[in-house]
Structures are given as structure tokens and as C-alpha cells.
Amino acid sequence: MFGLMQDHPLLISSLIEHAATFHPETEIVSRTVEGPIHRSNYRELRDRSKQVANALATLDVGMHDRVGTLAWNTCRHYELYFGVSGSGAVLHTVNPRLFPEQIEYIINHAEDKVLFFDISFAGLVQELASKLRSVTHYIAMTDPAHMPDIDVPNLLCYEELVQAQSDRFTWPEFDERTASSLCYTSGTTGNPKGVLYSHRSTVIHSLMELAPDTFGVSSRSTMLLVVPMFHANAWGMPYAAAMAGAKMVLPGPRLDGENLFGLMRDEGVNFSQAVPTVWLMFFQYLDANPDLDVRSLKLEGVGIGGAAPPRSMIERFENDLGVEVVQGWGMTETSPIGVINRLLPKHMDLPEEERMRIKMKPGRGVWGVEIKIADENGEPLPWDGKTSGHLMVKGPWIASGYFRKDGDVLDADGFFPTGDIATVDADGYVTLVDRAKDVIKSGGEWISSVDLENAAMGHPAVAEAAVIGVAHPTWQERPLLIVVPREGQQPTREEILDYLKRNVAKWWLPEDVVFVDELPHTATGKIQKVKLREQFGDHTLPGVQSR
Amino acid sequence: MFGLMQDHPLLISSLIEHAATFHPETEIVSRTVEGPIHRSNYRELRDRSKQVANALATLDVGMHDRVGTLAWNTCRHYELYFGVSGSGAVLHTVNPRLFPEQIEYIINHAEDKVLFFDISFAGLVQELASKLRSVTHYIAMTDPAHMPDIDVPNLLCYEELVQAQSDRFTWPEFDERTASSLCYTSGTTGNPKGVLYSHRSTVIHSLMELAPDTFGVSSRSTMLLVVPMFHANAWGMPYAAAMAGAKMVLPGPRLDGENLFGLMRDEGVNFSQAVPTVWLMFFQYLDANPDLDVRSLKLEGVGIGGAAPPRSMIERFENDLGVEVVQGWGMTETSPIGVINRLLPKHMDLPEEERMRIKMKPGRGVWGVEIKIADENGEPLPWDGKTSGHLMVKGPWIASGYFRKDGDVLDADGFFPTGDIATVDADGYVTLVDRAKDVIKSGGEWISSVDLENAAMGHPAVAEAAVIGVAHPTWQERPLLIVVPREGQQPTREEILDYLKRNVAKWWLPEDVVFVDELPHTATGKIQKVKLREQFGDHTLPGVQSR
């Protein structure tokens, strides 16, 4: 027996329709790729999204067709968010920072029918176009005056294409499980994998982003969206902002401190989200310009994710700027809310040091994300803050698989393996220990490569460090430390190990140290341990018979 | 093409599981029907809900069976919320304030299989039992020491029944559209009608109740739930509180100022919701006890709904107590969020008087509730704050029909007719004008009976007033004012009309005034205009030929 409630599919088009109806004048402010500031609002955004939807039809883009974007955070990209998904096509946001071969692979794998691109990427598009097998039209997201001079088939101008269309369009109704957008993860191994979001997952995830225990997005928010719209849907914020009617400020291609600070000051930004690197640049800008009146900013909260922020960053935001830091952990596969760090009422009166210890954790569970840490056999491990296991997540906005990739991803209980090793404490706060494939399995215990690397980086002569597991006849694996010395420094194996003895447990101590000039990195800056393992996997540890 | 996201049904059991996992120690504090305060927490609530689920199986209650409750806001009622719906049965909360014949009708119409009741209602149950055709067991929600001495078949003791059960129970998974709970509306005409909620509607509605633009329920909330759990699921708060892990304070049978104030003070309540009548009693208690330290309360916000609060109430909360008032309008059929009054950023700097004018409105739209005002032909009317029309709503937590009642309820576009006449202003704020069936249709224009009644009540000699439309040969209908004079007062027709001339538009002036000793009321205190129309519908207006 079903309830007698109205049966409406949860569709992304409802978000922009709500914003246009109840917050028509609320502004969308963009730094354009061309340079100047552009001002729009939700009514215009809705109307332009409908023009986009009509334009897609003229390009023969239909339900389920993939529409690629290579674009920064701008109003045009925002129009595509609603125009493409709202019309039933799939918005495929491509990360322009990947290696060209990866971008080529991704677009061909997704079979993007058309490709929208910012003029910053004209050269890249020119370089790739001949290898992209499915793309029928290339649309430069600019006006006629700024059209790039490149030679690609069916090059169109966004403004000409869109403005030629009517803003009358009836959003289609369809099953809420329909695919809405697509984003490829670039891991450190293998080809990128496509996460295919649905309208349902997006809308439910947006609802949770309004909750005060996550980001508390509301009609009183003025949000500077620094996290890229090509990165897990900018953490879902473009959708949540429309659902709440928040004012949106888009920084365009410039993530430098000057642009961010200027937008914060001029637009009254009270919330922003970015990865630690961006905030580091932001603080460097503030330091270089001590005459700036940072106290005049209306910033109240920042979201930080993508990597662990240093303690000094949290302290600077909270103590110097009076800004609450909301850390979070997630992945492309988690839409991206996995866990969010908000303090509980019982933490409010703790001493500063205790509160900081909790604030340094990535976060705790919110409704919609079930969490499990599991041993090698998939059995749940206790939440004691010490026992580490495979972090597994389950819920309506978590991926069940990858686009055009067979094979089971979920475990028998329906949990998605994040690939992370983590502990969970009694209050449900998760602490990440290492990536599962990087952890060193030594005598039945796990050694965190991340923790060892961080410890080694503390040595003044170490510029960069990586730790991999190397086979060992007694212990299964033992850690090998690979060090890039600072310029002009020549630390010895013994110096480094002596230093580490004072900073890590004895059984964690690396069996050996090797020195290299540089470490291999991915396009997004991660160390490619798979390459290091290829290179050093056969390294003969001291005291072990060489093979 | 579907997205590749996990496909989990949205079920009410997930709410209590989340709370028990991530907020196990967060308290549920109840004033019991037996008298003392009872302290529990979400872990216990989950465990006891599972015992309830096991107990239901022993009573042969299966999927979709209706389980009636006649109960106050207590922890036991809260256990039933999760135990009954979580196990797939339908929680049917019955309003014990209705007339006994209505309760009899409702329980028989719903075919409740078992009936849980607070011992306050033992006499009522004794009176009704012989007429209840479907109820196989009566469970007194108390311990063995307080069992009522009544003679009903299969009388059981809640604590004996529940404590005998294991707290091991696996919540079943089923279609999220499955019926979860049932609540009858008692209009002023006809038999009560049953609104049948689903798991899906309840979970989506709960998500929206976390939003800062509605009630902002969070893990930092300590909520005093005054609005009855038999009234539209206590405005959905029992679900939202568990989803967010809010501390819950339940006042039991005592809605008096002393109990509410004591709970607020002792439990650190920062949010509460109730109808204006309850807050009126609360302020009367404060006035009678000037030594109470109201400033020691941690109250930050109150929700007010169910009726329009007087301006003085909003001012007293906001100016004297520093408490933000959140008005809302909804119905049993809207789960109940219809519109919610939060000020927009642009209102923050308005002069006090302007802000109050906006705060007096019931509210504006939130995502999930589409709004239309329509003329007699269903055509949409403009949002100009002046044009009034039938208020229609549409969304995933709005009713599509009534339990066991045939006939179309929604209009051709899927909108639910609220039965209210309203205006909507350019910012989407709704103002209720009148009930559609009570509005007086005079010469093609509408006259609000509510506004005329309020105006008449301003006359010092008027204790109560009602206005109905009476047939008129020229104008179709004209207003007739029915007045109950204050004790010892004998106002004349001319005095009243003279007074009104100064307070209402000329064409709104009642054609005639009649005086009566009392007005007919429903069980919940509304004036029964249908009875007045029976009595006075043939009233001969001055200057009109009698029929």
C-alpha cells in the first residue's frame, strides 16, 4: 500500500525553477574569462538555461547524450549545468588540468557529442580535435568579438548560438534516476573512471548541503565558488545554491589571491569553499599586502576539502579572521559529501587544544552516508579511534559503479570501498590513515605511508618524500623511504633515520632510504606511487638476501 | 540511461539508525503521563523501537496494517513513530481532542488493528471500545503499576509487551512510496479525511526541515516539541530531529506554562514550536510569575503555525526575549511545510515597522512546494500582493488524495487546492485572505469573512463575531455579521456598523447584524460556519424582498 502523496520525480530543473521563481533578483556574479565582471541573476540564469536547452536541440543533442565542458567557474558554465541536465542530456565536466592524452581518452570514452570550451582552452581543443571521435560541434564559450582563431570542425560561438534561441522551454519530466552528469576521476593508476550522477542523487545531496551540520547553504548565503565546476560538480554547490536561493560569486579562471579577495570584499561573500592550496595562495596574498583590510570581509565560514588542511590554516581562519572552518572529506564517487567536520554541542566548552584536535579530523557522518571500516575480510571493525580498516560508504548519493565499466564495485552489503584506510572514533569522526594501496603491511600490522612521509618532510634537508612497501621475507612488507633532498643539501641515510627515530614508532622506521632528484607526479599533483613501485619494488633491503 | 548511483529507498528507519549510530548519547527527555521526567537517548530509542517492531509481530500486525495511537508527546509515542513505520506498518495518530463520535469514525474508517493509548485516555477508550470494529488489542502506554482499571478486550501493558521483546530486529527494505503514517483532518464540514504519508515524502520533508530557511534543525538544536505528535506528525519534527541528531524534549500531557518553562530552563531548550494559543498561555504564566528569570533561557527561535499569531506575540518574542519567530503555514495535507517566513537578506536593514509587516505574513515558498494562486477557472493570477485567488500547492510532500476516498483532488496541472484564498507578493510571500468556502462573493469581488470578523472583534462590546455570505438579488452575496456581545453589554446594529465604517472599505460593510448568545464550534475550536449558514442562510437583508 503506497502513501497518497504526490509523485514528482526529483529533477535538477526544479532547482533553477525554484530559484527563478522565489529568488529572481538574487545575483550571479562572475569574473569572465574575457576579463570583466558579469552580473546576472536567477531569473536570467533560468531563461538562459532554457535557451541552452533549445540550442542543444538544434545541435541534435537528445536525452542521455553527453555534453562535454572544458570550462572555469562562470555564469555560462552555470547555464550549462541547468540547460544540459535539465533537458535530459548528461553534463560531462572535463578537468582541463589533466594531461591531454587523458582528456582525449575521457572525451572519447564518454562519447561526448558536443564540446563547450572556455577560450583559455582554445589551444588545447585545437590540439585534441582531430583525435576526438564523437564530437560533432565545438562551442567556444564567448561572444563574437572574442572568438578564438583555431581550426576545428563546426566551431560555434556560444553567445550567437544561445541568443538565437527562445527562452521558452518546458523542462521534460522523466525518471529521477536518469543520468544527469558525468565526472571522471583521475586516480594514480589506470585510465580515468567516469562517475555518473543521477537527478535523484543530485537533488537529495543538495538538500543535505543546506543542513547546518554540513554547509548550511541558505538564502542569506553569498557564496564564492572557488572549487572548480569540473571537479565533482563543484562539490554540489551550484545545485544547493539554486535550491536555497543563495547569491553566487564565480571567480572565473583566476584563483589568485587578488581576484578572490576582491570578489569577497566587493560582493559581501560570507561563505567559500576551496582546497588547501588555494587558501595557501590566498594567505600568501594577504601577507604580501598587509595594507588590506581583512576585517572588512563578511566571510563567516569556509569549507575545506580535497586534502588535509594544515593546522596553521585552520587557526588562521578561526583565530585571526573569525571564520569558522568546515572540513570535509569526499570523493568524486560521493557527490562529494562523505563526512563533514562540525563540532558537537559537547565539544563547545572544551579547551582550545582539544577542540583543535577534533577540528583536524576530516569529519563525521551525516544522514545519507552509512560508514563502515572493515578488515581484509570485509568484517566491520570497532569505532575506537585506533583500529584502522578499509573505509566503506553507502547511501543515495554514493556511486554504485563506473560508466561503461563492468565488474562489481560494491561489497556484499552494498558498501562502496573508498580505497582509503581510516579509523573512526566513538563519536563517528573519521581519520584517514592512508590510501589502501599505499599502506605498508608489515607483520600483520599497517604502517601509514602518509604519516611516514609527513614525518620525513619535517627534516630540514628533505624537499619531498615518498614511502612505498618493499617485499620482505619475514615481515611481508617493510617501508622504503624515497627522498628528494632540498637544493644544495646532501642528507645521509643515517641522518634521516636518526631523525625519524625520534618521531615515529620504532617498528615504523623505514628499512632503507634512497635519494632521487625528483618524484613522478600526476597531472593533479599527486605522487605516482605506482611508478615508484615499478622503479623501486625490487630494491634490496639491507640484511635481506637479494633476489 | 540511469545514473550509476546507489539505489536505496528513502525509509524512516534510516533516520533512527543514523541518530543511534552518530548521536547515541543525545538525549530524549520526556515529561511522562505518569508525572516524572524520563531520560532516554537515541541509542535506547532505536533499541526500544526495535522491541516495538518485534512486539507488533506478536500482535499479528504486518506490513500496511494501521496502528492507532491516542497519545501525548512522550518517549513511548516517539518509539512508536519508528517502531511502527520502520517495520512497514502505518502509524495512525488520532487526535484525542476530537469528539468521541469522530474518533470512532476515524478508527473504524482506518481499520486500526491495534490501539496504543495514554492512560489519560483510558475513560475515552473504555467508552469507545465496543464501537471499534477492527481493533484486536488495546495497549495502555504505561508500566504495570499504572495500568488503568477499564474493561476492554485484550488490554495489554506497553512496558510488559515491549520489554519482553528482543531489541534485535532488521528493518525491512521496501518501496519508499510505501505508506508510513496516517493523520485525519477534521474540517468544519463532513467526515474527517485521512492523509496518508509515505516514507519518501517524510524523508524528503525532513531534509527540508534542516534547511536554515525553514527550521534549521541541527545537532546543536535542543528542541521542545510542543506541537502534538497527533497533529500532522508534530510538523515532521520527530523525524527531522533524528535525522540531525537534535536533543529532543517532550512535554507529555502538560502544555501549561509551568511545565514548558521548567523544561526550557532545565534542559537548555533553544528551539520550540507551537500554535499561538500555547504561547499565549506561556506568556500568561510569565506574567503571573514576574520573579522568573526569563533571560536565563537559551531559547533562540520559535516556530509558530496553525493560526496567525498576533503581532504583540511576535514582538514580545523578538524584542523582549531576543527569540527569532519563524512563522509558517501548512496543513495536514502538506506534511506540513507549505510556506515558511524567513526574512530575505534585503529585508535586514528595513525599518522595524516594515520588517514587522513582512514578519506578519505566513511565509514564502521553499524548494519542494510550488505555489499557484488561481481564479475560479484555474487560471494563474499575478503575484502582486493584491490579487487574491485559490491557493494551490504542488510537491513531493503534498497530498494527492485521501485514504479510501475516491475522486480527483488535484487540478489538471497536479496542484492541490488548499481551500484557502490568498495573495502572493512579488517576493513570493503568501498572505491568507480567507477560507474559500467562507469568502463572500459580492458583485464579482471577494470579501474576506476573516478580516470583517477581526474588525468587528475590535469593538469593545463584541465578545465573538462571525461573518457569512447571504444571498442578494443584485450582488449575489452580501456579508451578514453575527455577534456574541460581551457579558453585560448590549450593542446595537447601528453602533457596530458605525464602528466598522471607520475600519473597513465601504463596500465590505455588512448588510445586517444579528446578535446571538453563542456561536457553534468544532472540537478544535473553529467556528462552524456551515451551521451558521443553515441557521442564517435565509436571513432577510434590509431592503431586500423576503423570499
Which CATH code of 3.30.460.80, 3.30.2130.10, 1.10.490.10, 2.30.38.10 fits the domain covering B363-435? 2.30.38.10
Quick check: helix, strand or coil at residue B185? strand
Active site residue B222: no
How many angstroms separate the Cα of A386 from the Cα of each of A205, A338, A389? 30, 20, 10
Residue A537 pLDDT greater than 70, yes or no: yes
Residue B523 grid coordinates: 472540537
Report the alpha-carbon distance of residue A246 to residue A269 in Å, rounded. 11
Contacts 24+ apart (CB under 8 A), B376-383: B378/B411, B378/B412, B383/B424, B383/B425, B383/B426, B383/B428
Name the grid cell of B53.
Answer: 517492531
State how far the Cα of B359 lies from the Cα of B342, in Å rounded to an integer.
8
Dump the DSSP string for A329-367: E--GGGSS-SEE----GGGTTS-HHHHHHHHTS-EE--T
pLDDT given at position A306:
86
Q: Which residue in B4, B7, B197 is closest to A3 by CB distance?
A: B197
Is the separation of the CB atoms in B437 and B403 below 8 Å? no
Q: In 3-state terms, what secondary structure has residue A231?
A: coil
Residue found by looking up cell 623501486 in the block: A536
Establish whether B185 is a catalytic residue.
yes
**pLDDT the model gives residue A53:** 98
What is the sign, positive or negative, of the torsion defined by CA atoms of B514, B516, B520, B525?
A: positive
Yes or no, beta carbons of A177 and B394 under 8 Å apart: no
Q: For position B187, what pLDDT does the model report? A: 66
**What whole-number distance in Å separates Cα of residue A196 and Cα of residue A181?**
6
Confidence of residue A406 (pLDDT cuts 50, 70, 90): confident
Identify from B203, B364, B367, B400 which residue to disrupt to test chain A contact, counting A C-beta atoms within 10 A and taking the largest count.
B367
Q: Quote the CA–CA distance of B447 and B477 in Å, as a whole number.
A: 10
Whether residue B149 contacts residue B119, with contact meaning beta carbons closer than 8 Å, is answered with no
Q: Which three cell numbers stand for residue A244?
A: 536555497
- Whole-number Å distance between alpha carbons of B209 and B367: 11
Burial class of residue A235 (count of CB atoms within 10 Å of its CB; 0-12, 13-18, 19+): buried
List the 86-145 stretch of B: residues with Cβ below 8 A of A: 90
Residues within 8 A of A (CB atoms), B 167-226 only = 175, 177-180, 195-201, 204, 207-208, 210-213, 216-220, 222
What Å distances lie between residue B149 and A472, B32, B142, CA to CA?
77, 19, 13
Own/partner pairs, B442-449, CB within 8 angstroms, 24+ separation? B442/B469, B442/B472, B442/B475, B442/B476, B442/B477, B442/B478, B442/B479, B442/B507, B443/B474, B443/B475, B443/B476, B443/B507, B444/B476, B445/B507, B446/B388, B446/B421, B447/B479, B447/B507, B447/B508, B448/B421, B449/B479, B449/B529
pLDDT at position B189 is 65
DSSP-H helix ranges across B307-448: 311-315, 352-359
Per cent of chain A over pLDDT 70 is 99
Q: What is the pLDDT of residues B320-343, one digit of tens each?
A: 999 999 999 999 999 999 999 999
Question: Could you tell me where in chain B the CATH 3.40.50.12780 domains are found?
Answer: 13-327
How far, in Å, CA of B28 to CA of B73, rounded?
A: 11
Cβ pair A196:B243 closer than 8 A: no
Closest CA of chain B from A5, distance in Å: 4
Is B400 in contact with A2 (Cβ distance < 8 A)? no
Residue A280 C-beta-side C-alpha neighbours within 13 Å: 8
CA distances from A262 to A91, A257, A329, B28, B103 (A): 30, 8, 28, 47, 64
| DSSP secondary structure, B453-481, as one string | HHHHHTSTTEEEEEEEEEEETTTEEEEEE
Q: How far apart are the first and last CA of chain B?
A: 68
Residue B365 pLDDT:
94
Contact B196 A5 (CB under 8 A): yes
Mean pLDDT of A341-352: 94
**SS3 label, residue B431:** strand
Helix (H) or strand (E) holding B424: strand B416-424
* Integer Cα distance of A325 and A338 in angstroms: 17
Query: Among partner residues A5, A178, A211, which is closest to B1 by beta-carbon distance?
Result: A178
Looking at per-residue pLDDT, the higher value among A475 and B510 belongs to B510
A273-323 pLDDT tens trace: 999 989 999 999 999 999 999 888 999 999 999 888 889 999 999 999 999
CB-CB contact of A74 with A141 (8 Å): yes
Q: What confidence tier does A546 reach under pLDDT thresholds 50, 70, 90?
A: low
The CATH 3.30.300.30 domain(s) of chain A lie at 440-536
Of B198, B207, B364, the CB nearest to A5: B198
Q: Nearest by CB to B219, which of A245, A345, A370?
A: A345
Beta carbons of B140 and B182 less than 8 angstroms apart: no
Per the CB < 8 A criterion, the answer to whether A466 and A527 are in contact is yes
| Residue-by-residue pLDDT tens, chain B, 547 positions | 999 999 999 999 999 999 999 999 999 999 999 999 999 999 999 999 999 999 999 999 999 999 999 999 999 999 999 999 999 999 999 999 998 999 999 999 999 999 999 999 999 999 999 999 999 999 999 999 999 999 999 999 999 999 999 999 999 999 999 999 999 997 666 789 999 999 999 999 999 999 999 999 999 999 999 999 999 999 999 999 999 999 999 999 999 999 999 999 999 999 999 999 899 999 999 999 999 998 889 999 999 998 888 899 999 999 999 999 999 999 999 999 999 999 999 999 999 999 999 999 999 999 999 999 999 889 999 999 999 999 999 999 999 999 999 888 999 999 999 999 999 999 999 999 988 888 898 887 888 898 899 899 889 999 999 999 999 888 889 999 999 999 999 999 999 999 999 988 888 999 999 999 999 988 777 888 889 999 998 888 888 775 5
Q: Where in chain B is the domain with CATH 2.30.38.10?
A: 363-435
Q: Which of A167, A171, A212 shows the shortest CA–CA distance to A16?
A: A171
Closest-CA residue of chain A to B246: A345
Residue-level pLDDT at B505? 86
Residue A473's pLDDT band (cuts 50, 70, 90):
confident
Q: What is the per-residue DSSP string for B81-148?
A: HHHHHHTT-EEEE--TTS-HHHHHHHHHHHT-SEEEE-GGGHHHHHHHGGG-SS--EEEESS-GGG--
Q: Do A211 and B345 touch (CB under 8 A)?
A: no
pLDDT in tens, A16-25: 999 999 999 9
Window 421-440 of B, Cβ < 8 Å to A: 427-428
Across chain A, how many H-helices and E-strands are there? Answer: 16, 25
Under DSSP, the state recorded for B20 is H
- Which residues is A39 bridged to in the sheet? A29
The architecture in CATH of the region B13-327 reads: 3-Layer(aba) Sandwich (3.40)
Does A244 contact B401 at a Cβ distance shorter than 8 Å? no
Question: How are the residues of chain A apportioned to helix, strand and coil, as percentages rounded to the nearest 5?
Answer: 30, 25, 45
For residue B492, give every residue at least 6 positions away whose Cβ sits within 8 Å of its Cβ, in sequence order, or none. Answer: none
From the candidates B446, B464, B526, B531, which is the catalytic residue? B446
Is A446 among the catalytic positions? yes
**Cα B498–B499–B504 angle (5° rounding)?**
100
Q: What is the pLDDT of residue B521?
A: 86
Beta-bridged to residue B183, according to DSSP, are B195
B398, B335 contact by CB (below 8 A): yes
CATH architecture for segment(s) A440-536: 2-Layer Sandwich (3.30)
CA nearest B424 in A: which residue? A22
State chain A's mean pLDDT as an integer.
94
**What is the average pLDDT across A318-347?**
95
